[in-house]
Structure 1
Amino acid sequence: MHKNYRSFEAYLEDIYYDEMHQAIKNSILQKGRRSLDSYDVLDPSYIEVENIRVRSITFYGIEHRQIFFNATIQAEIVLKGMGKRDYEADRQSKWFILSFYGHLISGLRKVMIIDVRDYSKERFSKENALSRYLVPYLYSEDLDNEAERFLQKYYPEALENPMPLDMAELLDNMCLTMYYAPLPDNIFGRSYFGEAQVEVFEEDMIHTRTENIDVGTILVNPNVFFMRNIGSENNTIVHECVHHDLHANFFELQKLLNNDVISISCDVVEEYGKDTVGIDNALHWMEWQANVLTPRILMPLKTTKQKLNEILIRLQGEKQDLRNAEFLQLAIEELASFFGVSKLSAKLRAIDIGFEQAAGTFVYVDGRYYPPYSFRRGTLGKNQTFVIDEMNAFNVVKMSQGLSDMVYSGKVVYVNAMFCINDPQYVLRCEDGSIELTEYALENVDECCLIFDRTNRISKLYDDSFYRRCFLCRDVNAVNFVEAEYNPNYIDNQNAQERAKETAKIIAFSKEISEELMNMPGSFSRTLECHIKRRGITNEVLAERSGLSSRIISDYRNKEALTKELPAVMALCIGLNLHQFYAEDLILKAGHQWKMTHEHMVYRWLLVEHSDETLYQWNKRLEDAGLSQRLPSNKH
């Protein structure tokens, strides 16, 4: 009967205990008695190895089912022999690294221990690195290269010329078999790495039969597309192919430890929890890898750029009466049709390969499409958008006083799923009382519409972006004067038509901040305490934003006599995103006076012009200014 194991470490310790024992003992004997350091036994005549424990495994290579890994071993070495006075005995705990080689196919076979050495901390190498679950490490910057590796292996002609992948040919090249099957509604595909009996559809896609399947079988749910409305059958098939290419070793390992594991089911899930651990975390990363590689395989970088440019050049001669956004949307629609993917998949891939204005195409929000729009290149930062669904629009107006004032005063209106300046140049009022963006506005949304930050959240209510993103609005205020909200991706939302309104707010704010500074405590510690409470954050949050430890922040709050170095105080200022006036007050109470040095001038420039940024951005600016000093400084 097959024995189950909780980990590969437990398996190795149980199955290969004798081999590890002999390898360690031989290594000790080969090095000679002098390699053993014992205070009691000076001349050991008896050496034994006992209580071997496998503490960790590092897989560092696998090729054609040949696997290489290091095992960190703790063992007790028993010595007996002549001591200073008589025959003595000694027991020592020693650590070793044993290097293994084997074949991982239908179990672990032909295992050899190829090296034994004393333990030392080894540097991690990303080259051919594998996790403890045999999931390869993939990095965002390498994804297109990894997709090219996949195609070079299974479909090399797709790298030479633009072409849609033939799914039957891809499956044949990979020696995989596919069936349509009545899978649960939340499962869009399932890959098998062992023999099983499954229910599959007949050719009429109505009746089913029981099929005996083998390793290398894919089941596809014909009713559930990959990522629901943004995928296609091709996405599902390639997604499962990626699992067979990258993750077969994961299942070989799991079958070794637990013979009941035979398949992986791919759920319709937009995002996995960040707190997953162990094997759940491994499954999370396997799904992430399949998700991000699938569109890159279906639409390779080089040939997709080539094809999109070909389409754009041709359409320029055929469609001269279209707006830029309409023109680009038509090209992406043709690109999607050519590669056999959904329109939204093609849109997202176009953005990914450098056509950032594709973000304005196929604007689908709250169950309807809106006209495509254009914006100036470089306007949007990472995770930013002009588009916000109606539910989130309501929430951000409710949460942001600045935006609320602008909306209820009529200065800004919600139109085409965007917040736009309420001006006839940008907003057209129809006879039925509805409003829509003008042609000019649609071609220049960066001039008239507000920008929103976005964060990931799973919700069926939000269908306006790839991973169901909801969008969080920053406060609309006079950013060069009013204290900024913490915002790591700040882009100015102001424009000339809002300046008059902002001036009134500046006057009100100047009175407010003047009164607050007059009522601030006289000590550094109590002033810091006041700002932390005013900003509504904890020591832990401030530690993350400032780079200072929670302990030091606690000391600063409670020990007035503690020395406060200027870089550390600057780190507190950016961690709290303090306005220049508050920051200079805190710096003065820390015992520092500004000097006419290059370093201090740069510090003051950061406080005046960049109080809305992050510690990372400040350090980059210090580097650009030629300063070796980095924030924070924890020398206490």
Structure 2
Amino acid sequence: MASVSSFRDVIANMYYNDLFDELSEYIEDNPDKLESNSYHVQSPDEAALSDFDIITIDITDSPGNSILFDVIVSAEIEIAETVRRNRETDGIEQWFRISCRADLDDGIQNFQINSVSIYNKYRESKLGRLSEYLVPIIEKEQFDNVATEFLNEFCPEALSTPMPIPVDEVVKRMGLKVKEIQLTKHFTIFGQIVFGDCTIEYYDRNERTYKPLEVSRGTILVDPNVYFMRNIGCMNNTIIHECVHWYKHRKYHELVKTYNSDALLISCRVNETTKYKQQWTPEDWMEWHANGIAPRILMPRSMTIKKIEELIKKNELLFGTYDRLNIMENVVYELADFFQVSRIAAKIRMLDLGYKEVEGVYTYVDDHFISNYSFKADSLHKNQTYSISLSDSFFEYYANPEFAKIIDSGNFIYVDGHYVINDSKYIKKLENGSIDLTDYAKLHVDECCLLFDLKLNKASKMDIVVYLDSIMFRKATPDYNRVPTFNPDKHNMEVFNRSEELKKFHEEFVEEGQHLSRTTQTFSQAVYGHIKRKGYNKVVFIEKTLLSGKTYDRIKNNELNNPTLETVVAICIGLELSPTYSEEILRLAGYTLNNTPQQLAYKKLIHSYRGHSIYECNEVLEALGLSPLCAKAYKEMIS
């Protein structure tokens, strides 16, 4: 929709004369009630309205199609009084509150003015307010209350005993119906709710073209090919999402119909909004409402807590009270199955209800689920996480000197969404050459992993977002609006000190000390020494570094003594050199990494992404919008 007229504009256009006449009569009948600050007219005995402007409209929701609203106006008034036979006149400005009501049914009907009074700005605001576009003003903290109101009306039995919401029955009780149909060619819309009889277009997959379809008021259109929010959620969530629109947003559409008769449905798109809150349209706010309230309807607060506690007790008997990882994993799985929602939705609901331990299961980071992990319950406070996406960690590395210092120590390595102490107790090499957390580390991330505070993301466009502020897409935490931020607190300093102690006994540390004690004359000699130490031949060198055979020959013959920075970094990453080795190789080549984005990325890859192949490192660089290492060879290898 290109533009949206507010309720204020509609009232001004349709009922200006009615408001003028009522206000004029009040002013003429009550000149002594005016708050005159005129120097010439102290006690007016006559007053007349010249003109007025609508400042704002306070709108209160009410059952059915009716609404109550107060029109706040600034009036220009001519006042007069007789003093000792002299007639004194002046002009003043006065604010008034004009209380009205109307019905919304195919436009605005039965408009009437109930009262006029002097405006009191200290008057308490009413509950159940609507915005100037007739969209309910609902804070996130009120979502559970709205969900309870909804269930009280359409499924009260779900508030007395834990049960999966009978979605089909709820739809029937609301007087709605559901139709499954492919809405778009590329699955960009997951659902629609129709507010008036109309003709829509759907995509015919067999004929590969859009076709018209007549649909009636109160129809929920669902694309069965599209799961809610990019495969996160389920059909039940989609249907209830549309039910929330019908429950809370019909008045907005009645308003829109007064100037746009074609606006008869809401289309709910797969892609979330990426605008600042201040730029949100009424439709953005309505999507936020539906995204936030629908999961709370499917999992009512008190009944969900009751079911969670039941499942925890059951699984404690099965696994023992100390096996929290398996307990929480099973609880999420069974909770999702019971309420017929996705596992991600079940996990987010548990987090929202204060079950911190569930943070370690079904965590989605950098486009994949990481391994489940556990920790001591008291080690994690609200708005904290042990997981961080690689992109978030890069931004934190650039912005936070304390975090950069920790990472540059070489004591930590990024593995499976965590920054873990670089020690064989916590990390292991897999047969395919990649690295992973040990089983011990997965059960004790509080012992070996850095912790991050979730703080407001001032740079984020997602100022207010979907349920629990987002639906965990490509993030390590369920919250777009807060980002993981490193804080050198007691926990992180204890983990760092533990890493320092382990480093002293690390076998590689001892080996490095012995190796670096040797006299190294040139860059080529140092690199070739590492190649022999690793037991690599020419073929392996080319594969791991993406450098040419000619480069290998020049290194072997001690002829490559003025390499490019890109070549040096490719060698450090390809040969999986430790930070200590890498810094020595860079020094011999005459380089010190600076603070440009490209070189900061090199520095972080060397210090905390060791063990990952040059291909994985190039994927990181490209994701950050930076140039990959050995770009030509890399493109040839992946094409």
Smaller-chain TM-score bracket? 0.5 to 0.7
Q: Given the alignment of the two structures, is residue 65 of structure 1 paired with residue 65 of structure 2, yes or no?
A: yes
What is the match of residue 309 of structure 2? 309
Residue 343 of structure 1 and its aligned partner are, at CA, apart by 0.9
Name the counterpart of 2:127: 127
Matched residue of 1:142: which SS? helix
DSSP 3-state at the match of 2:138: coil
Secondary structure at the residue paired with 1:259?
coil
AA aligned to 2:165 is L
Stretch deviating more after TM superposition (450-459 or 50-59): 450-459
2:20 aligns to what?
Answer: 21
Determine the structure 2 residue equivalent to 1:333. 333
Change (3 A) 1:424 1:380: same
- Please tell me the residue identity of whatever aligns with 1:333: Y
**Which residue of 2 is the match for residue 175 of structure 1?**
175
Task: Verify: 1:211 aligned to 2:183, yes or no.
Answer: no
The residue identity in structure 2 corresponding to 1:412 is F
Aligned partners of 1:67, 1:106: CA distance in 2, in Å? 14
Partner of 2:514: none
Q: Shift in Å at residue 360 of structure 1?
A: 0.3
**Matching residue's letter, 1:354:** G
Distance change in 2, residues 1:369/1:85 (3 Å): closer
Q: Distance in 2 between matches of 1:390 and 1:41?
A: 72
Question: C-alpha distance in 1, partners of 2:148/2:228?
Answer: 21
Judging changes above 3 Å, is the alpha-carbon distance between structure 1 residues 365 and 47 closer, same or farther for their aligned structure 2 residues? closer
| Cα separation, 1, equivalents of 2:321 and 2:59 | 59
What does 1:167-316 correspond to in 2, within 5 Å?
167-184=167-184, 185-200=187-202, 210-277=212-279, 280-316=280-316
In angstroms, what is the RMSD of aligned CA positions? 3.7
| Cα distance between partner residues in 2 of 1:40 and 1:398 | 66
Q: Distance in 2 between matches of 1:450 and 1:191?
A: 46
Q: Which amino acid aligns with 2:118?
A: D
| In structure 2, distance between residues paired with 1:461 and 1:125 | 38
Task: State the Cα distance separating 1:224 from its structure 2 match.
Answer: 2.4
**What displacement does 1:259 show?**
3.2
> Residue 446 of structure 2 aligns with which residue?
446
Q: Please tell me the residue identity of whatever aligns with 1:244.
A: W
Cα deviation 1:508-551 (Å, max 9, x = unaligned): xxxxxxxxxxxxxxxxxxxxxxxxxxxxxxxxxxxxxxxxxxxx
Distance 1:464 1:28 in 2: 62
Question: Does structure 2 conserve the Cα–Cα contact (< 8 Å) formed by 1:218 and 1:240?
Answer: yes
Alpha-carbon distance between aligned partners in 1 of 2:56 and 2:250, rounded to the nearest angstrom:
22
1:104 partner letter? L
Give the Cα–Cα distance (whole angstroms) in 2 for the partners of residues 359 and 267 of structure 1: 28
Residue 63 of structure 1 aligns to a residue whose secondary structure is coil
SS at match of 1:68: strand
Mapped partners of 1:242, 1:251: distance in 2:
14
What's 1:529 paired with?
none
**Corresponding residue for residue 138 of structure 1:** 138
Q: What is the TM-score of this pair, normalised by structure 2?
A: 0.67
Q: 1:351 is matched with which residue?
A: 351
| Alignment check: 8 A CA contact 1:5 1:257 kept | no
- Aligned pairs for 1:76-95 within 5 A: 76-78=76-78, 90-95=90-95
Structure 2 partner of 1:462: 474
Kindly indicate whether the alpha-carbon contact (under 8 Å) linking 1:325 and 1:374 is maintained by their aligned counterparts in 2. yes
After TM superposition, give the deviation of residue 244 of structure 1 in Å: 0.9
Q: Are the aligned partners of 1:60 and 1:69 in contact in 2 as well (CA < 8 Å)?
A: yes
Q: Quick one: distance in 1 between partners of 2:241 and 2:146?
A: 14
Cα deviation digits, residues 46-79 of structure 1 (max 9, x gap): 7543323322211134222221111112333345
Q: TM-score, normalised to structure 1's length?
A: 0.67
Query: How many residues align structurally?
Result: 485
Alignment match, 2:365: 365
How many Å separate the matches in 2 of 1:66 and 1:467? 37
Any idea what the Cα deviations from partners look like across 1:63-105, whole Å, max 9, x if unmatched? 2222111111233334578666666765444332111122222
Encode CA deviations 1:392-444: one digit per residue, 9 max, x unaligned.
44555566665556556542222232111233443344455543323332222
Does the Cα contact within 8 Å between 1:381 and 1:491 map onto a contact in 2?
no
Residue of structure 1 in register with 2:635 after alignment? none
Q: Deviations over 1:307-337 (max 9, x none)?
A: 2222232333344599421221122112112
Contact 2:417 2:476 in 1 (8 A): no
1:256-294 deviations in Å (ceiling 9; x for gaps): 3443422222222345422534xx443332222111111
Specify the SS of the correspondent of 1:27.
Answer: helix
Structure 1 residue 359: deviation in Å?
0.7
Give the match for residue 11 of structure 2: 12
Question: Which residue identity is paired with 1:148?
Answer: T
Structure 1 CA distance, aligned partners of 2:4 and 2:316?
63
**Aligned to 1:227, what secondary structure does the other structure show?**
helix
SS of the equivalent of 1:162 reads coil
Partner of 1:161: 161
Structure 1: which amino acid aligns with 2:411?
K
SS of 2:102's partner is strand
Contact 1:426 1:437 in 2 (8 A): yes
CA–CA distance in structure 1, aligned partners of residues 208 and 320 of structure 2:
48
- Bigger shift: residues 265-274 or 157-166: 265-274
Quote how far apart the aligned CAs of 1:497 are. Answer: 6.0
For residue 117 of structure 1, what is the aligned residue in structure 2? 117
457-466 vs 446-455, which moves further: 457-466
User: Matches of 1:352 and 1:401 in 2, distance apart?
Assistant: 32
Confirm or deny: 8 A CA contact 1:272 1:284 kept in the other structure: no
The one-letter code matched in structure 1 to 2:494 is: N
Tell me the SS of whatever aligns to 2:349.
helix
Once residues 32 and 468 of structure 1 are traced to their aligned partners in structure 2, the CA distance between those partners, rounded to angstroms, is 56
Cα distance between partner residues in 1 of 2:482 and 2:32: 67
Contact 1:193/1:262, CA 8 A, preserved across alignment: yes
Distance (whole Å) between structure 2 residues aligned to residue 205 and residue 67 of structure 1: 46
Show the counterpart of 1:619.
Answer: none
C-alpha deviation, 1:39, in angstroms: 6.8
Equivalent pair of 1:43/1:82 in contact (CA under 8 Å): no
**Quick one: structure 1 residues 434 and 70, their matched pair in 2 at CA, closer, same or farther if it must change by over 3 Å?**
same
CA distance in 1 between counterparts of 2:223 and 2:476 reads 24
Matched letter for residue 135 of structure 2? V
Single out whichever of 384-393 and 140-149 deviates more from structure 2: 384-393
Q: From the superposition, tell whether residues 169 and 392 of structure 1 become closer, same or farther in structure 2 (CA, over 3 Å).
A: same
- On the 8 A contact 1:179/1:201 being kept in 2, the answer is no
Q: Contact 2:366/2:476 (CA < 8 Å) preserved in 1?
A: yes
Q: Distance in 2 between matches of 1:42 and 1:405?
A: 72
| Pair 250,8 (structure 1): closer, same or farther in 2 beyond 3 Å | same
Bigger shift: 234-243 or 450-459?
A: 450-459
Give per-residue Cα distances to partners, 1:101-158, cap 9 Å, x unaligned: 2222222222221111122214343522222222222233332222111111111111
Hey, what does 1:437 align to over in structure 2? 437
State the alpha-carbon separation in 2 of the partners of residues 293 and 137 from structure 1.
Answer: 13
SS in 2 for 1:414: strand
- Label 1:119 to 1:145 Cα distance change in 2 as closer, same or farther (>3 A): closer
Give the CA deviation at 1:378.
3.9
Alignment of 1:25-40 (within 5 A): 25-31=24-30
Identity of aligned residues (%): 33
* CA distance 1:368–1:28, shift in 2 (3 Å): closer
CA pair 469-58 structure 1, distance change in 2 beyond 3 A: closer
Unaligned stretches of 5+ in structure 2?
Answer: 463-471, 502-639
Q: Distance in 1 between matches of 2:414 and 2:311?
A: 34
Partner of 1:474: 486
Aligned equivalents of 1:500, 1:372: Cα separation in 2: 23
Matched-pair contact (CA < 8 Å) for 1:230–1:344: yes
Q: 2 CA distance for matches of 1:46 and 1:406?
A: 78
